[in-house]
A and B are shown apart, each in its own frame.
Chain A
Amino acid sequence: MADAPAIASGLLPPEAYAANFDDLNPPLDRRAALVEASRCYFCHDAPCIAACPTGIDIPAFIRGIQTDNVKGAALEILEANIMGGACARVCPTEILCEGACVRTAQEGKPVKIGLLQRYATDWLFDRELQPFTREPSTGKRVAVVGAGPAGLACAHALARRGHDVVVLEKRAKGGGLNEYGIAAYKVAHDFAQKEVAFILGIGGIELRTGVELGRDVHLADLRREFDAVFLAIGLGAVNALKVPGEDLAGVLNAVDYIEALRQAEDKAALPVGRDIVVVGGGNTAIDIAVQTRRLGAENVTIVYRRGPAEMSATAHEQEVAQLNGVRIRHWARPVRLLGDGHVRAVEFEYTRLDERGRLAGTGETFHLAADMVFKAIGQLLSPDDLDGAGDGVELGRGKITIDADGTTSLPGVFAGGDAAAHAGQDLTVVAIEDGKRAAAAIHRYLTR
């Protein structure tokens, strides 16, 4: 029997969906923002600034909130980080600015920098102000491949400098994972598209959607047609479990399901299982687990092969999962997926570290019932995308090799974001900084 009766849609009362996928952290109103802003000490050489990959002058923007110069605050943020609005929502602040806040050391309670950043940027967005203007045209043209955070940040900075930018994007909308990957309750109310419109609002950026590098256009063409190219294609492939039963129905890539969820007009129409098993230990695992719970799944279990400290999901994310009724099990790895056409269960083997500190199975196993299994064990650069008709950029560690400025092995070709072997983690804010830094390097290259 191939169909799985437990998989169904519309498990919840209709009004529950709107609530479940609304802002996880609701915005601050003015009074709350003033109270929170007054907690900032305006530190000298503030540790939060150093902890922000884009180097936002956090005490300066918080002072703007304190003095009701909210526009000044928003500009302070956007000058350093054009997607300061997205970052206010999606950054794992507990390991970035807020983790470094002196109040964390003092009393375990950082200033809520993320929410204050959102307060300031929302102020500007709500008023639909466009504060940026372009320098006179340079006549130079740059192709940006991928309209995610890295690509759009780069495009915006280049457009400001007077260069003309064409952004090629294989999907139907811009925004990258802000639109297709981040958990829905982090970027509610179509924020990703509002931000894309804001970025394009400066002018000089043409977004061409439905155009795929490696299929519709090749790197060699772009190098010929444009004065410079920025590759920001993210990670298009996913890791496989490589265990028997992986091809059973109901075994899915977490990112694919999240993409469908993010694009679903009506979340009630999404089919979801009763017993869900998620394999992985990162934020993608957390996101798929929490979102399926919020769609009405009964039992959602994340299984990770090592301990809590090794999970790349932050402690805060793990807590969010647990608050949403997700069970997290450690020290087990899948050995087999069981089912008859459709997955029914997963067989796990307990794991431990051997004498030499390597992960090893103990030989003992257990089963978890599952009508949906999500793979969330990491994404990879898809080399097909980079088919450049003989014009290959050098890869290393499975990603595009770059220097600190984003320069690749090919002259005039730059790269950044998740697709590049950058020093930082694969985070939205790091991708934005990559785009910003590459834009500066491209500008130097074009005006050399």
Chain B
Amino acid sequence: MADLRCQIAGVRSPNPFWLASAPPTDKEYNVVRALRAGWGGVVWKTLGEDPPVVNTTSRYGAIHFRGHRMAGFNNIELITDRPLEVNLQEIKRVKKDWPDRAMIVSLMVPCTEESWKAILERVEWTEADGVELNFGCPHGMSERGMGSAVGQVPEYIEMVVRWCKQHTRMPVFVKLTPNVTNILAPARAARKGGADAVSLINTINSITGVDLDRMAPLPTVNGKGAHGGYCGPAVKPIALCMVGEIAKDPECRGLPISGIGGIETWRDAAEFISLGAGSVQVCTAAMHYGFKIVKDMISGLDNWMDEKGYRSLDDFRGAAARNYTDWGQLDINYEIVAKIDQDLCIKCGLCHIACEDTSHQAIAAIRDNGAKRYEVIDAECVGCNLCLHVCPVEGCITMVPVENGKPYMTWAEDPRNPQNLKAAE
């Protein structure tokens, strides 16, 4: 049994699996069901100033990819549509009843110091473990000058975080929007303002599709559509990258990260943690399958850690971030070539046509007395992995390292680099 206890920015939870601020954490009823199922903590659905917002109906869109439902998910919902006092009462009660679980309260109010000060005071009363500033919501709230409208301007982030740190004893998490060109700008601003941690990613601007009969983006609301926020498994690679960027940034060094985006399984969580995340947050997977999925997340992470000999999350936290580098640091001398296991090959020809039409013409299509055979031409193979990815048979194509005896060499050191040619002249 590995130790799954988690601590991030002073907030403790029995495991790193938290529910992200969203409908699953909208009210006491859901949250208690979640905690009962085993979730380590929750970030309560974002609170705002009264009167509460009003939502449209038809709120969600989804990408169903070739038979897999909800590979990507999209919403045009706003923050909580329930009165502030009701939420606060419930938060206080839940925290009292479940003292060992992390209770973070997500907040979004207009960009004035009084607004933030006022709501922080009220949240303090709940004895929650921390607050999360929602600078991420990309739709609706941003039109009102909140959410990603703040999150896209580093100076605003820094200013608001500074106010918050002044007006509360609670740890301050800053939830970042991915709708920026460089995630480091808002992350660094949060740190400068004194943030205790960052949470990312929030949802990505998106249109899930177009209704070609009604000629409107999906999901449509009475014939019209607005862009929504994209999340679910499809966004995981983007989220991982942004988490990794912050983890390896010297200016953000030591800034705790709560990882979010497309997390469905223990393995997803392990990946985020290995790239530096302290805790992980889940929304879409819970909305797809219910709270019960946390059981496999806990047991899967536990079993994997046992197998690897990791006793606590800290044993592997950030382990992959250390190997996350810039392209310029990669070994230009490293060589691999594709190898096709002829016994496993089912002769579908997809590797050949992919390489022939779109890569390096390195897989020969041999016809021997009518029998088909596909063979890699080692000298032509550039080791790009394309054939491996298109091959439908697991283990049939592998990439084999070539023993070329050459040392680790970066592009900066490579004699073929024009910079070096110039220097040599």
Contact = CB atoms under 8 A, between A and B. Distances in A.
Nearest to A68: B267
Nearest to B303: A71
A42 B289 contact: yes
Given A30-B394, A44-B290, A67-B266, A60 B295 contact: yes
Nearest to A73: B296
A67 B296 contact: yes
Q: Is the contact region of chain A dominated by helix, strand, or loop, or is it mixed? A: helix
Contacts of A69: 265-266, 296, 299-300, 303-304
A398 to B, nearest CB: 43
Contacts of B303: 69, 71-72
A72 B300 contact: yes
A67 B271 CA distance: 13
B394 to A, nearest CB: 5
A219 interface: no
A64 interface: yes
B300 A64 contact: yes
Contacts of B289: 42
Interface residues on B, range: 10 to 19
A368 to B, nearest CB: 47
A63 B299 contact: no
A31 B299 contact: no
Among B266, B267, B303, B304, max chain A CB count under 10 A is at: B303
Interface string A20-43: 000000000011000000100010
B292 interface: yes
B350 interface: no
Contacts of B393: 31
Contacts of A72: 296, 299-300, 303
Contacts of B296: 60, 63-64, 67, 69, 72
B253 to A, nearest CB: 32
B265 A67 contact: yes
A229 interface: no
Contacts of B265: 66-67, 69
A275 to B, nearest CB: 44
Nearest to B68: A38
Contacts of B68: 38
Nearest to B268: A67
A75 interface: yes
Nearest to B299: A72
Interface in A38-67: 38, 42, 44, 60, 63-64, 66-67
B293 interface: yes
Nearest to A70: B303
Q: Is the contact region of chain B dominated by helix, strand, or loop, or is it mixed? A: helix
Interface string B288-319: 01101101100110011000000000000000
Interface in A402-420: none
B266 A63 contact: no
A424 to B, nearest CB: 27
A44 B295 CA distance: 14
A29 to B, nearest CB: 9
Nearest to A69: B300
Interface residues of A, number: 15
Nearest to A62: B296
Contacts of B300: 64, 67-69, 72
Given A30-B394, A31-B394, A63-B293, A75 B267 contact: no
A386 B303 CA distance: 46
Nearest to B302: A72
A121 to B, nearest CB: 15
A71 B68 CA distance: 25
A41 B296 CA distance: 15
Contacts of A60: 292, 295-296
A217 B304 CA distance: 49
A64 B303 CA distance: 11
B349 to A, nearest CB: 20
Contacts of B292: 42, 60
A71 B300 CA distance: 8
Nearest to B296: A63
B230 to A, nearest CB: 23
A25 to B, nearest CB: 21
A38 B71 CA distance: 13
Contacts of A42: 289-290, 292-293
Interface in B251-304: 265-267, 289-290, 292-293, 295-296, 299-300, 303-304
A75 B302 CA distance: 13
Nearest to B293: A63
A239 B265 CA distance: 54
A67 B394 contact: no
B86 to A, nearest CB: 27
A30 B394 CA distance: 9
A173 to B, nearest CB: 33
A213 to B, nearest CB: 41
Nearest to B267: A67
Contacts of A75: 299
A221 B321 CA distance: 68
A69 B265 CA distance: 10
A63 B292 CA distance: 10
Contacts of A30: 394
Interface string B378-410: 000000000000000110000000000000000
Contacts of A63: 293, 296
B299 A64 contact: yes
A191 B68 CA distance: 36
Interface string A68-91: 110110010000000000000000
Among B68, B265, B292, B299, max chain A CB count under 10 A is at: B299
Contacts of A68: 267, 300
Among B293, B300, B394, max chain A CB count under 10 A is at: B300
Nearest to B304: A69
Contacts of B290: 42, 44
Contacts of B266: 67, 69
Nearest to A59: B292
Among B267, B290, B295, B393, max chain A CB count under 10 A is at: B295
Nearest to B264: A67
Contacts of B299: 64, 69, 72, 75
A74 to B, nearest CB: 10
A42 B299 CA distance: 17
A407 B370 CA distance: 71
Nearest to A39: B67
A44 B289 CA distance: 8
A282 B304 CA distance: 45
B286 to A, nearest CB: 12
A365 B299 CA distance: 64
A406 to B, nearest CB: 30
A63 B288 CA distance: 13
A65 to B, nearest CB: 10
Interface string B66-110: 001000000000000000000000000000000000000000000
Interface string A237-275: 000000000000000000000000000000000000000
Among A31, A44, A72, max chain B CB count under 10 A is at: A72
A306 B68 CA distance: 46
A219 to B, nearest CB: 43
Contacts of B293: 42, 63
A71 B295 CA distance: 13
B369 to A, nearest CB: 30
12 contacts: A42-B289, A42-B293, A60-B296, A63-B296, A67-B265, A67-B266, A67-B296, A68-B300, A69-B265, A69-B299, A71-B303, A72-B299
3 smallest CB-CB distances across A and B, nearest first, come from A69-B300, A72-B299, A67-B265
Given A64-B296, A69-B296, 8 more contacts: A42-B289, A63-B293, A64-B299, A64-B300, A69-B303, A69-B304, A71-B303, A72-B296
